[in-house]
Amino acid sequence: MANPHLHFKTNYAVSSKIEPFYKGGKVQISKDENYIFCTCGSRINVLEISTGKIVHSVEHDDQEDITSFALSSDDELLVTASRALLLKQWDWRQAQCTRSWRAIHTAPVASMDFDSTSTLLATGGCDGTIKIWDVVKQYCTHNLRGSSGVVHLVQFHPDISRLKLFSSSMDCSIWMWDLSTSLCVCVLQSHYSAVTSLSFSPDGDTMISSGRDKICTVWDLKQQNAKRAIPVYEAVEGVIFLPENQDFSQIGVKNPKLHFVTAGSKGILRVWDPNTARCVFSQTLGTVSVKKDDEEGEEEEKKDDNPRSLTHLLLLPASSRLATVTAEHNIMLYQLAGLATLQQFVGYNDEVLDVKFLGKDDSHIVVATNSCQLKVFELLTNSCQILYGHTDTVLSLDVFRKGSLFASCAKDRSVCVWQMDSGHVRCVARGTSHTNAVGCISCSRMKASFVASGSLDCTVKVWDLPADLTAAEESIQQLTLRTTEKAHDKDVNSVAVSPNDKLLASASQDRTAKLWSLAGEGNLGLLGVFRGHRRGVWTVCFSPVDQVLATSSADGTTKLWGLQDFSCLKTFEGHDASVLKVIFVSRGTQLLTSGSDGLVKLWTIKTNECVKTLDAHQDKVWGLHGNRRDNRMVTGSADSNITVWEDVTEMEVAEEQAKQEEQILKQQELSNLLQEKKYLKALGLAISLDQPHTVLTVIKAIRQTEDSSELLEKTVLKLRVDQKEALLRYCGVWNTNAKNCQDAQVVLQVLLTHVPPEELLQYQGARTHLEGLVPYTERHMQRIGRLLQASMFLNYMWQKMRVVGEPSSMDQDEEMDTSPLVQPFFTIDKDRGDVENREGEDRDSGQDEDPSSPLEDEEEEDADVSTTRRVSARIRSKEGGKTNGRHPSVSEESSEEEDMDEEEEQEVAGKAAKRLSASSTLSQTIAS
């Protein structure tokens, strides 16, 4: 039996997005240390550190990639350079370009830097030249030549009074320029590879440089020579001096002398004492401690794609923090005192392979990208924890029921189990037994007792979890292999555990899905095979409530299978390419599918209908997961975007209920206002409900009062202009119904009489509403004209009949209103459409028929009228044939009158009486 409280989902709305905001290049932090500026193709994105959100973005109109940028020291000016050799100055808070000019360089600008006064800008070009720009007076002040190759580093001395600029190019030397003379003072030579960064001591007399030759050199700027070259055993990308007068004892600083921090290819921060040339502190990352003499670390360092390598190192002195940028475009903030991680932001996710909700109330999501790292995002702040444990690309994820424990598998042939505690995630168990990449994994549903994995080695394995995962907090326990089964002839693409933990389903590239028994402690037992897909099966999923299985395939279809007879129950077709993922929602009554076409589709199983298509991504949607409360889903795509969706069906239902409750309250208030005779407030409230019938109720209430015309006029004229507009619109609605046309006409009369035409035409849609009133008004006039004609004839007939009765009945008859109609009435000629004003004539009850009667031809009189006259004559005949001498006798009537029987006479007499009664009522109504 269907659940009456179950609402089918109809639509999803985007709740939040995690998009790429940094794809390599320069990174700079504002002086107030609230924003991170970074390049992303043709844009500069501004990331707010406190929220992790992109708050501003500037982009070149020509869509050319930005090669370099610089933020002024006062955080006011942002200057960008593009490949089109165009420099642009921005008001970055408003995302407006305030000035643009052509760079004098003959090749793109590779590096930029502002001086400490925010007035001078240095640009280093790929043409080997350096330009100095006065951004206030807007002209080029210096053109410095001499470097060979690309000038990839330019930096002003922090003391502007010295007027010194430092630069480095492909010749591996450091040039010191005197801006007062535009000459190179000296060339500092010590490195044998590219110089990557410079840092100055607080007094400005000492400088340290780093290079990819694994050396840091300390320079005496007064003597203009090298004081010491320090081997650091890694390619260094960033170096900074530690600030003075702070306690850094936690990172090995034991004396107040200068110390510096390096960041490079090993992916760790290290603190050095330049006097002894020794490393006094070395940072650890994740679950693996990196040692400088470790052979494995050296092998990892040699890899070109080492994800741990650092590319930038930035100092945030005001808040005592450090910022680093990794080769995988992650930005990390550290506490300077102990180098503990504070925040991590992922600038670029690459291809998203899987994504799952995690944590209490779905506060986090765990993401597997085209990387050996796992990323756990906090949805509120977009801060990310990067997990190290796998050594090759992570391919699949699954979460246990409670949401704080999850499992992953990777190309490194391993399976890992992770636990989140107070937002911190660590690896607690690991299993390695597959002989090829592990492509899919599924967790037990009832309790955290086992995981199942499928591999490219065509096998399915079931692993038992350790009894106590928290036994050793720092160590990683081993998963116990329960069973291994050669499941398919080709790669196993998906495995799924049933809600009761008794069944296991697998899907393979061999175009089949299989059902296995998990009830026994030994090997997996094959129960059946699902055949029907024409290409490989990507995903298999159990229904949460029925004995039904769903599969999605590369043939573009999704199928439902019965677990009893393994037959195909339904086939869903709609994707133009492979269907990569399928999940059940709405308690098993609907499906969500995602495909290689970048679409997510919502299906209702009962009707076999696609009720919504979400244009979610621009590439394959590999990740698709619904939360436990069934009101949100998350998708991840090969376009690097992660999208969190909210089910708007529940929101729509809640909003509708709120609207209904609000309307009930307003209806009650309206009723109270009408009882209190506060008609102006009542009319305004009725108009706010935007219900023409409710407004009509108020109008009718006003018209039932004494002096209704004056009160209606007074009330309508006090309305606001927008309320009058609504009232004019409602008049058009009321006028379409004959029962309400009089109310519409009286309101319309007030508006047309008292509102000037020029003001009335300013009303929204006034012309349309007035044009719509005309045809219905003409129809009502024709109907009223016909009624007036009929009432005139009935009045005439009544006068003819009342004078032939018994004298005894005259006393009663004289009490009735026998005055003829003297009011004008309207008739409309159908051919000409004109209205003729005709006036009824008084007729004496004792006179014969007048030729000037409104009836043009007595032979065309209504049959009922003729019959009534005949009945009257028969009545007179039966009562003695008394006449007044002015009407023909009964004998003069036709023979047809004599043949009428008594029953016919009674029936016709009854009809006549009814018509007379109606005539009297209608006459009184029209007269009033």
pLDDT of 92-144, one tens digit each?
999 899 999 999 999 999 999 999 999 999 999 999 999 999 999 989 999 99
- The total of other beta-carbon atoms located within 10 Å of residue 451's CB is 29
pLDDT tens digits, 14-52: 888 999 999 899 999 999 999 999 999 889 999 999 888
Using 50, 70 and 90 to split pLDDT, how confident is the model at 789?
Answer: confident
pLDDT at 707 over 90: no
Give me the mean pLDDT over the 230-247 stretch: 92
Using 50, 70 and 90 to split pLDDT, how confident is the model at 662?
Answer: confident
Q: Which of 144-148, 588-592, 740-744 has the highest mean pLDDT?
A: 588-592
Give the three-class secondary structure for 434: coil
Measured CA to CA, the distance from residue 16 to residue 51 in angstroms comes to 13
Mean pLDDT in the chain? Answer: 83
Closest C-alpha among 583, 579, 577, 580 to residue 550:
583
Contact by Cβ (8 Å): 223, 200: no
Q: Which of 546-550, 695-699, 704-708, 731-735 has the highest mean pLDDT?
A: 546-550
- Which pLDDT belongs to residue 615? 87
pLDDT tens digits, 712-734: 888 888 888 888 888 888 898 89
Measured CA to CA, the distance from residue 355 to residue 360 in angstroms comes to 16
Considering only residues 63 and 815, tell me which one the structure prediction assigns the higher pLDDT. Answer: 63
Give the three-class secondary structure for 301: helix
Give me the mean pLDDT over the 351-372 stretch: 92
In b/e form, how buried is each residue of 11-46, taking b as 16+ CB within 10 angstroms? Answer: ebeeeeebebbbbbbbbbbbbebebbbbbbbbbbbb
Measured CA to CA, the distance from residue 542 to residue 515 in angstroms comes to 11
User: Distance of alpha carbon 824 from its chain centroid, rounded?
Assistant: 65
Terminal-residue alpha carbon distance, the chain: 62
Cα maximum dimension of the chain: 152
Q: In this structure, are strands 477-478 and 424-432 parallel, antiparallel, or unpaired?
A: parallel
Rounded to 5 degrees, φ, ψ at 119 are: -110, -30
Rounded to 5 degrees, φ, ψ at 649 are: -60, -50
DSSP codes joined into one string, 336-361: TTT--EEEEEES---SEEEEEEESGG
- The total of other beta-carbon atoms located within 10 Å of residue 785's CB is 17
DSSP codes joined into one string, 96-119: EEEEEEE-S-SS-EEEEEE-TTSS
Measured CA to CA, the distance from residue 700 to residue 585 in angstroms comes to 51
- The total of other beta-carbon atoms located within 10 Å of residue 774's CB is 10
Angle at 339 between CA 338 and CA 345, to 5 degrees: 145
- Which pLDDT belongs to residue 236? 95
Using 50, 70 and 90 to split pLDDT, how confident is the model at 593?
Answer: very high
Measured CA to CA, the distance from residue 1 to residue 531 in angstroms comes to 31
Distances (CA, A) of 628 to 57, 360, 450: 36, 10, 20
Give me the mean pLDDT over the 609-638 stretch: 91
User: Distance of alpha carbon 374 from its chain centroid, rounded?
Assistant: 26
Q: What's 490-517 look like in SS3?
A: CCEEEEEECCCCCEEEEEECCCEEEEEE
Give the three-class secondary structure for 566: coil
Give me the mean pLDDT over the 850-864 stretch: 39
- Which pLDDT belongs to residue 345? 92
Distances (CA, A) of 657 to 586, 652, 662, 671: 20, 9, 8, 21
Measured CA to CA, the distance from residue 22 to residue 25 in angstroms comes to 8
pLDDT at 840 over 50: no
pLDDT tens digits, 548-577: 999 999 999 999 999 999 999 999 999 999
- Which pLDDT belongs to residue 585? 93
Question: How would you list the strands of the sheet with 195-200, edge to edge?
Answer: 195-200, 206-211, 215-220, 225-231
Residue type, 668: Q
pLDDT tens digits, 499-510: 999 999 999 999
In b/e form, how buried is each residue of 508-536, taking b as 16+ CB within 10 angstroms? Answer: bbbbbbbbbebeeeeebeeeeebebbeeb
Using 50, 70 and 90 to split pLDDT, how confident is the model at 156?
Answer: very high
Contact by Cβ (8 Å): 357, 402: no
Alpha helices in 808-894 (DSSP H): 810-813, 863-878
- Which pLDDT belongs to residue 3? 55
- Which pLDDT belongs to residue 817? 47
The set of residues, in sequence order, having a beta carbon less than 8 Å from that of 151 and lying 6+ positions away, is 110, 111, 124, 125, 126, 128, 129, 130, 167, 168, 169
Contact by Cβ (8 Å): 154, 148: no
Considering only residues 425 and 817, tell me which one the structure prediction assigns the higher pLDDT. Answer: 425
Considering only residues 588 and 798, tell me which one the structure prediction assigns the higher pLDDT. Answer: 588
pLDDT at 201 over 90: yes
pLDDT tens digits, 262-290: 999 999 999 999 999 999 999 876 543 33
Measured CA to CA, the distance from residue 144 to residue 825 in angstroms comes to 102
- Which pLDDT belongs to residue 6? 65
pLDDT tens digits, 10-20: 889 888 899 99
pLDDT at 868 over 90: no
Contact by Cβ (8 Å): 355, 339: no
Give me the mean pLDDT over the 565-592 stretch: 94
- Which pLDDT belongs to residue 907? 52
Question: How would you list the strands of the sheet with 492-497, edge to edge?
Answer: 492-497, 503-508, 512-517, 525-531
pLDDT at 318 over 70: yes
Measured CA to CA, the distance from residue 738 to residue 777 in angstroms comes to 10
Dihedral over alpha carbons 572, 574, 575, 580 (to 10 degrees): -20
**pTM attached to this predicted model:** 0.67
Distances (CA, A) of 606 to 565, 569, 790: 20, 11, 60
- The total of other beta-carbon atoms located within 10 Å of residue 199's CB is 21
* CB half-sphere exposure, 302, CA atoms < 13 A: 6
Q: Which two tokens stand for residue 631?
A: 């009101």
- Which pLDDT belongs to residue 812? 43
- Which pLDDT belongs to residue 810? 42
Contact by Cβ (8 Å): 121, 79: yes
- Which pLDDT belongs to residue 659? 74
Measured CA to CA, the distance from residue 344 to residue 326 in angstroms comes to 11
